[in-house]
Amino acid sequence: DTAVSQTPKYLVTQMGNDKSIKCEQNLGHDTMYWYKQDSKKFLKIMFSYNNKELIINETVPNRFSPKSPDKAHLNLHINSLELGDSAVYFCASSQSPDTQYFGPGTRLTVL
Amino acid sequence: DQQVKQNSPSLSVQEGRISILNCDYTNSMFDYFLWYKKYPAEGPTFLISISSIKDKNEDGRFTVFLNKSAKHLSLHIVPSQPGDSAVYFCAVRQGAQKLVFGQGTRLTINP
C-alpha cells in the first residue's frame, strides 16, 4: 500500500498552460510538503502545510499555488507554465520535520 | 548560496569495501543532520540522522560522523553492497519544519 502517492508520474505540456499535480498520503501525518528538484539536482522546499494551514512558503513565483483540501492531500497548481518550471516535483509528508516520507516524484517537462 | 554542499557528484566503490560520502555545511547553528537515499524513479527515503550533541551515530552497516568544528558530515557504509547503489542526499534541519538538502552523490557499488 503506497504511503505517499503522486499523480501524474510524467507531465509534458506547452508553455503557457496551467497544470496540477496531486499528492495523497495515507500515513496520518499532519504535515505535507512540496519540493522541486531542478537540473542541478538540488532538492529545494517550496511549500509546507500543517493540518491544511500553510506554514512554509519559500521564494516561489505566485504562479504556483498549493491547495490542501484535507490533511491527507496537498495538490500543486501551476499557472502559465514556463520553460524553467521543468523539473521533478516531490511531495512528502511527516509527523516530525526530520523523517519525511517522499512520493515517487512527478517529472514535469515544459516545451 | 548553497548552505549544504556535497562536492562529489559521484563515487564508485568495490563491493565489500567501505564507501565514504561527504557533506559540508555553512551554518554552525544547524543542530540536526540527516542522510537520505534515493533509487531511480523513487522518492528519497530516510537513512540515518545525527544530532549536534553527538559526533557519531551507527545503524548496522551505516555510520554518520559529525565534525562540528569543520562543519563536515560524512556517511560510512561498510561493507558496501550492490543494493547500496543509489543517490545519497545530505540534509540539515533549519528551523522547526524545514530540511535543506545537498545536491546528492551518486554511489555505484561494483561487483
For residue A44, the chain B residues in CB contact (below 8 A) are 101
> At A12, which amino acid appears?
V
Task: Please state which of the ranges A81-85, A92-96, B106-110 shows the lowest mean pLDDT.
Answer: A92-96
Per the DSSP assignment, residues forming a β-bridge with A76 are: A21, A66
The per-residue b/e assignment along B49-59, b for 16 or more CB within 10 angstroms, e otherwise, is: bbeeeeeeeee
Tell me which chain B residues have a C-beta less than 8 angstroms from the C-beta of A32.
Answer: none
Residue listed under C-alpha cell 537540473: A39
Q: How far is B43 from chain A (nearest CA, A)?
A: 4
Whether the pLDDT of residue B46 is over 80: the answer is yes
At A47, the pLDDT band (50, 70, 90 cuts) reads: very high
Of B2, B43, B46, the CB nearest to A103: B43
How far does the CA of residue B35 sit from the closest CA of chain A (Å)? 10
CB atoms near residue A34 (< 10 Å)? 26
User: Which of B32, B51, B93, B99 would you mutate first to test chain A, the one with the most A CBs within 10 A?
Assistant: B99
What is residue A15's predicted lDDT score, i.e. its pLDDT?
97
